[in-house]
Amino acid sequence: MYSLLHCHFESALRALDLARPERVHHLRALYRTPGYLGSSPAERLTLLWRTVLSLTEDDEEIFAESTFHLVVQRLLAEMRASQVEHADLRIGPSTGRWRWMRSAADGIDIFRKELAGSHDLSIAFLAGINMTKPADELDALFDLLLTDGELTARLAGVDVNFLAADLPKFNRYLTALQALQTAGLKVNIHLGELFGNEISHHVLSQITPDRIGHGVLLLHDQYLVEMIKERDVCLDMCPTSNTLLGVTDWTHHSPASRALQLGIPVSINTDDPVLFRTDIDREIHRAGLTDGQRDMVVACAKRYRYGTS
């Protein structure tokens, strides 16, 4: 049985895939366009998300409560079909287009309802903190995380992502992130993916994440390798995502195998399985591991996963 540690829920995209699957085909056609192929990894990701937003615009019907239930049921069915017994799932901490929700806690409660009675599955929720968003939205989000006990009681932690240009925002919210960590929430940070190691040096000099999303580029830096090893931070890697975004091509080498040889814990994951059309079996297959290493990543995922609250 598998544990998934790096999986974005992306409810809007999942709702689109359920209600308007033909539009998701359109999205995936982007991967082959010259505009996409000529862009940097960060630009590629931005392009993909702008397209998702444009494909869900002015279509409120998609975001009905009944659709949300179906989306959750489908996710649980996918977990069972892929033999995933546990997921640390990154969710949106605001209600977004799901206007009937009073807060993200309502969404989590639907998961709990659907999970009730399924003792074979568990999910821990991580609130996504997307620092590419404007400061006023982030201010509101941190306010929520620091004051809304009803929401944080349902969370295992937070998962932070940003681009190079957002480093000032990371600095601005560092104290708030440390406060969340001190209060018992886990803090995951995407590093070693969409920006260079000079930024990761800075981030890791300020805070020790409980786990790191991706981290593949960190392996090029001896100092960072030693630091991660010493602090026992698991790298949650995602082969198809890295390959499609142009971060690193896993068909030629395996960062997971390299990290394990260096003594760093690694888990293998799907990142955003709808966007990258993948599942855990495919990812483990693409990870280029020996049988022994495969057993190691499965065991790591079990060891480093978070408990449910």
CA distance 204 to 121: 33
Q: Which is nearer to Zn ion, 213 or 239 (CB)?
A: 213
Positions in the binding site for Zn ion (CB under 5 A)? 213, 271
Alpha helices in the chain, H assignment, sequence order: 11-19, 21-29, 34-37, 41-56, 65-81, 104-115, 135-147, 149-152, 167-182, 197-206, 222-231, 239-245, 255-261, 280-286, 291-304
β-strands 157-161, 266-268: how paired? unpaired
Q: Least Å distance between CB 123 and Zn ion?
A: 17
Task: Return all residues near 242 (Cβ < 8 A) that are at least 6 apart.
Answer: 193, 214, 216, 248, 249, 250, 255
277's tokens: 């059309």
Q: Least Å distance between CB 120 and Zn ion?
A: 26
Q: Which is nearer to Zn ion, 10 or 271 (CB)?
A: 271
Q: Which is nearer to Zn ion, 161 or 254 (CB)?
A: 161
CA distance 170 to 163: 10
Q: Which is nearer to Zn ion, 192 or 265 (CB)?
A: 192
In the three-class reduction of DSSP (H, G, I as helix; E, B as strand; rest coil), residue 255 is classed as helix
Amino acid identity of 222? Q
Q: Least Å distance between CB 8 and Zn ion?
A: 6
Q: Least Å distance between CB 4 and Zn ion?
A: 12
Q: Least Å distance between CB 130 and Zn ion?
A: 10
Amino acid identity of 196? G
Q: Which is nearer to Zn ion, 245 or 300 (CB)?
A: 245
